[in-house]
Structure 1
Amino acid sequence: MPSRDNVHVLVARYLRDNGYKNTLEAFKEELGLEDDMIPSDHSITLESIIEQKRLFDLSRELEAVTVADDEDKWHVPYPAFKSILPKQSPESNILFVSVANLSIPASTDDPSSGFPARPCILTSSADRSLRIFDFYTLELLRVHTHLHASPILSFLVFNESTLLTGGMDGRLVVSNPATGDIIAQLNDHQKYLVRIACSRDMKYVATAGYDKKVNAYSIENLGSDESNFAFAKIGTISFPTNPEAILFATTEGENESESTTPRLIVSRRDSTFLYYYKLFPVLSEAARHNLNPDGTSWVSFCAMDMSLDPVDHKFLVVATSTVPQMRFMMLQSRSDQILKNVSTKAPQDAYSSARICWRPNGTGFWCNGDDGIIRGIELSTGNVVAELKHHDGKVKAMFAGIVEGREVLVTGGFDKTIAVWELEKR
């Protein structure tokens, strides 16, 4: 008699137990099985084998992110010493911050005067201004108030002399941050342009607006002169609710060309799904992944922010709109397998803007909160291991990265202040 773990016996037992009588009879005749050769022992089933295989695959995935040594834990030291940027007049709520190398001329009277690129802090605020500070001296270098007719909600430094900004006027503006000259602009959104994303290879740009649309473009820069910067529209995605977060990620495609072309990931209000779009041959949905761990369709949250891990770019961390405390989820960028689902303990309400920033070494991330506290979350455990306290009220804007080999964090809030956090005192 065949053993109970014989492949043919397992298949026959599965067919019998699930009522596939005709298929079972044909299977028995094909293999010469008798009824007494198919035991009733259910200690090993096809379902249990598949479940064991699923758990094995999950354990292999978690090996990359499960704490094994001290080096996998939250890295110490971390940015904890703050410097406060000088307050500007008029004082306004801070909407967005970033740090990047910019070519700022030595003289405002002579924009062509040479000056090597230097680290700069860029901020936008509710008074419509875009301000640029020297990272080291905190000196105010430039103030641009003419780029948009309303406040700038998001921006992206494309290179040392090219800046992309999106405003409440719905426009995407390309400008030279040193001179303020507008190079190009698009008017494809009818309401707030809330997000700008760029692919890692700098070939594609996407914008998300509160007109319930996401637009995708390829970048056409015809030469070294940034004045040739132009967009070619790939397509528009229309949603029933407002998009909240967009991100480009390279995923495994069906063929070599697809695997090298990034896909656009989108989240939207009143949906627990992440939507994956391929750019070519037309902008179209390729997959959707449900972030609800129960797999149900009822809505309890949405993804408000997304970020790829800075080391391998394989893991996606999501900050949710969950009330009363933000949760973070981690999954593979091409999978709906939720690897972590933990509360950040950061308070928020239905009107909050959850933000999340990876530490450059990938050992954890920072998240904002309505109580003004910046929380450091250790990725391996999901525990809150650091708290940075300065802001009085909601923190709206965060940037985390490396500036000339030094880890930094920049935060801005509705208390109208901007804090620069570093590893050591200045």
Structure 2
Amino acid sequence: MPAADSPAVLVARFLKANHYNDTLDAFIVEAGLPPDAGTTTKGDLTIEKVLEEKRIFDLSLNAERLGVEEIDQRWSPSAPCFPVIVKTMPTSANLLHVALESDHEEAKSQLLLATTADRRMTLLRTDAEFSLFRSYSHLQDSPILSVVSLSNKSLITLSSSMSGEIVLYDHKHDETLEKRRDHSKYVVEVAEYLADSGIHWVATAGWDGKILVYVLKSCRDSSHMCIGPPVAVIHLPTNPQAILFVKDPNDAAPVLLATRRDATLLLYYSLSSVSLSDPSMSSLVELELLGVQNLAPHSNAWIAFSPSSVALCPTDSSVLAVATSSVPHMKLIIVRMLLPASGTQASNSNLGLTQAAQARDNLALRNREDAAIRINVSTMAPQTPYSTPQVCWRPDGTGVWVNGDDGALRGIETRSGKIVHCLKGGHEAGSKIRSVQSALVHCNNREVEWVISGGFDKRLVIWKPEKDRATDGNQRTAEVAIR
């Protein structure tokens, strides 16, 4: 029996679907197919689906925008290229979130943080053996989806879970500081920001259509942190996808950036309406929408992608990398943010203008949004509507890494938009990479760039530069495709 997606089977399905019965019978005999080869069940691949995917791919190619010579520098050398598979994880389960924590005074080193589908949070040292520091299975009542660190000195983390609960935990004193359940469904992302004024903001995005904003504060009887009830809320018509705090370049005030499903917009919200005088207020403040920025400004049709993951450039705080939910391949957009002061603020300034004047203003706005898009390319990373796109910057800002559902990581140069590296050999081929982060690690009195990835093949993989291969000679060698 040939494969279900073989050309002969596709042709047989086409003939049967269009009732070319005589031709089908002759083709089955000549091709040596079984009598039921043309039968189609739900989800089977057909010639029509192949052609539709080809049309979508061609459209995405036509919409690509490559970089120009004066933008940034080229992909820097010594990028991570070979994998080290971590063998010291206490359990074998799908990886949901990976991160690198700062130096911890008790561990006397940086720590790798990983969460798995068995509700466990694991901390590993960054030594040669990746020795186990601590592992927790009691923090949450469901799998942990996102974690942020709030204090490097004592390693206080805020984690969110599939049940809608968030947990504030002090790893130094091994103590749960606070638990809250203000969301009714998955809390897919947590973001934090320490403002210049000393206010520590935290935002959580849940699949109950809400984004909640908290203000961290110190407890009265100790130096520990506590969360308290949320101080503001955003209600969205569709589920939020990504949240990020950014700084307004005009007055350095924090602005909350958010994206949502089935919308090609970056949403900017002001925090100025939040009153901090009465933290025990019973009614939540609805955050004011400052403005929006469209990532498909000149499109006159419905665009089937959402900005699913956003990351701020480490060398230019006005530049954002956006991984989209486009299928069958992820599209990457690198865009300069147009905060409201730059002309995207949602105001009624065009009221009273003639229809022609309003049209000119709208066209000028779309032109500004289009000019802000620096890179718009296909990453060739396969994904489905159920994928979780992820993007992270290299520490020097010369490129980004994106995940994929084929077990490979792709490095894209931000200067040209070209795929420079395709890292294979760490994860199983065809497996889903769920989380990826790039960071600088202190090794032998020098800083080394690592890429950390975790996937549904139950592997935690550390990708290291080529010059460190000699120190890891007992590990698997990567299959690196350089394009």
| TM-score, length-scaled by structure 2 | 0.68
In the other structure, the counterpart of 1:205 is 202
Partners in 2 of 1:216 and 1:117 — Cα distance?
Answer: 33
**Shift in Å, 1:77:** 1.1
Taking a change above 3 Å as real, the CA distance of residues 224 and 315 of structure 1, as seen in their structure-2 partners, is farther
Q: 1:104-126 deviations in whole A, cap 9, x for unaligned?
A: 6xxxxxxxxxx364211010000
* 1:331 counterpart SS class: strand
In the other structure, the counterpart of 1:155 is 147
In the other structure, the counterpart of 2:350 is none
Partners in 1 of 2:186 and 2:436 — Cα distance?
Answer: 20
Q: What is the identity, as a one-letter code, of the residue corresponding to 1:126?
A: A
Residue 330 in structure 1 maps to residue 334 in structure 2:
yes
Partners in 1 of 2:187 and 2:223 — Cα distance?
Answer: 23
Is the 1:133–1:139 Cα contact (8 Å) retained in structure 2?
A: yes
Partners in 1 of 2:223 and 2:382 — Cα distance?
Answer: 43
Taking a change above 3 Å as real, the CA distance of residues 234 and 295 of structure 1, as seen in their structure-2 partners, is farther
Is the 1:317–1:329 Cα contact (8 Å) retained in structure 2?
A: yes
Is the 2:107–2:125 Cα contact (8 Å) retained in structure 1?
A: no
Q: 1:268-293 deviations in whole A, cap 9, x for unaligned?
A: 11111111100112421100111114
Counterpart selection for 1:133 from 118, 124, 149? 124
Taking a change above 3 Å as real, the CA distance of residues 239 and 198 of structure 1, as seen in their structure-2 partners, is same
**Shift in Å, 1:88:** 3.9
Is the 1:220–1:232 Cα contact (8 Å) retained in structure 2?
A: no
Is the 2:293–2:338 Cα contact (8 Å) retained in structure 1?
A: no
5 Å-filtered alignment, 1:69-88, equals 72-86=73-87, 88=89
Taking a change above 3 Å as real, the CA distance of residues 271 and 129 of structure 1, as seen in their structure-2 partners, is same
Is the 2:104–2:111 Cα contact (8 Å) retained in structure 1?
A: no
Is the 2:451–2:462 Cα contact (8 Å) retained in structure 1?
A: yes
Partners in 1 of 2:89 and 2:193 — Cα distance?
Answer: 34
In the other structure, the counterpart of 2:21 is none
**Shift in Å, 1:339:** 1.8
Is the 2:216–2:225 Cα contact (8 Å) retained in structure 1?
A: no
In the other structure, the counterpart of 1:14 is none
* 2:232 counterpart SS class: strand
Is the 1:142–1:178 Cα contact (8 Å) retained in structure 2?
A: no
**Shift in Å, 1:68:** 4.4
Residue 342 in structure 1 maps to residue 377 in structure 2:
yes
In the other structure, the counterpart of 2:6 is none
5 Å-filtered alignment, 1:405-420, equals 405-420=447-462
**Shift in Å, 1:221:** 2.9
Residue 302 in structure 1 maps to residue 293 in structure 2:
no
Partners in 2 of 1:148 and 1:222 — Cα distance?
Answer: 22
5 Å-filtered alignment, 1:243-282, equals 243-253=240-250, 259-282=251-274
Is the 2:308–2:325 Cα contact (8 Å) retained in structure 1?
A: yes
**Shift in Å, 1:222:** 5.5
Comparing 321-330 with 292-301, which one deviates more in the overlay? 292-301
Percent identity, please: 34
Is the 1:87–1:417 Cα contact (8 Å) retained in structure 2?
A: no
**Shift in Å, 1:419:** 0.6
In the other structure, the counterpart of 2:432 is 394
Residue 166 in structure 1 maps to residue 134 in structure 2:
no
What is the alpha-carbon root mean square deviation over aligned residues?
Answer: 2.2
* 2:224 counterpart SS class: helix
Is the 1:273–1:289 Cα contact (8 Å) retained in structure 2?
A: yes
In the other structure, the counterpart of 1:30 is none
Taking a change above 3 Å as real, the CA distance of residues 180 and 145 of structure 1, as seen in their structure-2 partners, is farther
**Any stretches of 5+ residues in structure 1 without a counterpart?**
1-61, 105-114, 254-258
**Any stretches of 5+ residues in structure 2 without a counterpart?**
1-64, 275-286, 340-368, 472-483
In the other structure, the counterpart of 1:123 is 114
Residue 185 in structure 1 maps to residue 179 in structure 2:
yes
Taking a change above 3 Å as real, the CA distance of residues 204 and 166 of structure 1, as seen in their structure-2 partners, is same
Taking a change above 3 Å as real, the CA distance of residues 200 and 313 of structure 1, as seen in their structure-2 partners, is farther
Partners in 2 of 1:311 and 1:209 — Cα distance?
Answer: 30
**Shift in Å, 1:89:** 5.3
Q: What is the identity, as a one-letter code, of the residue corresponding to 1:97?
A: V
* 1:240 counterpart SS class: coil
Taking a change above 3 Å as real, the CA distance of residues 339 and 223 of structure 1, as seen in their structure-2 partners, is farther
Partners in 2 of 1:372 and 1:205 — Cα distance?
Answer: 32
* 2:184 counterpart SS class: coil
**Shift in Å, 1:229:** 3.1
**Shift in Å, 1:251:** 2.2
Partners in 1 of 2:165 and 2:194 — Cα distance?
Answer: 23
Q: Which has the larger radius of gyration?
A: 1
Partners in 2 of 1:319 and 1:133 — Cα distance?
Answer: 28
Is the 2:89–2:132 Cα contact (8 Å) retained in structure 1?
A: no
Is the 1:234–1:279 Cα contact (8 Å) retained in structure 2?
A: no
State the aligned residue count: 347
**Shift in Å, 1:172:** 1.3
Taking a change above 3 Å as real, the CA distance of residues 415 and 260 of structure 1, as seen in their structure-2 partners, is same
Q: 1:307-331 deviations in whole A, cap 9, x for unaligned?
A: 1100121101100001011011111
Is the 2:107–2:133 Cα contact (8 Å) retained in structure 1?
A: no
In the other structure, the counterpart of 1:256 is none
In the other structure, the counterpart of 1:375 is 410
**Shift in Å, 1:223:** 8.3
Partners in 2 of 1:228 and 1:375 — Cα distance?
Answer: 38
Greater relative CO, 1 or 2 (CA 8 Å, sep 6+): 2
Is the 1:164–1:172 Cα contact (8 Å) retained in structure 2?
A: yes
Partners in 2 of 1:228 and 1:384 — Cα distance?
Answer: 43
Partners in 2 of 1:296 and 1:216 — Cα distance?
Answer: 34
Q: What is the identity, as a one-letter code, of the residue corresponding to 1:156?
A: V
In the other structure, the counterpart of 1:52 is none
Taking a change above 3 Å as real, the CA distance of residues 280 and 79 of structure 1, as seen in their structure-2 partners, is same
Taking a change above 3 Å as real, the CA distance of residues 80 and 281 of structure 1, as seen in their structure-2 partners, is same
| TM-score, length-scaled by structure 1 | 0.77
* 2:148 counterpart SS class: strand
Residue 144 in structure 1 maps to residue 141 in structure 2:
no
Comparing 330-339 with 286-295, which one deviates more in the overlay? 330-339
Residue 312 in structure 1 maps to residue 316 in structure 2:
yes
In the other structure, the counterpart of 2:346 is none
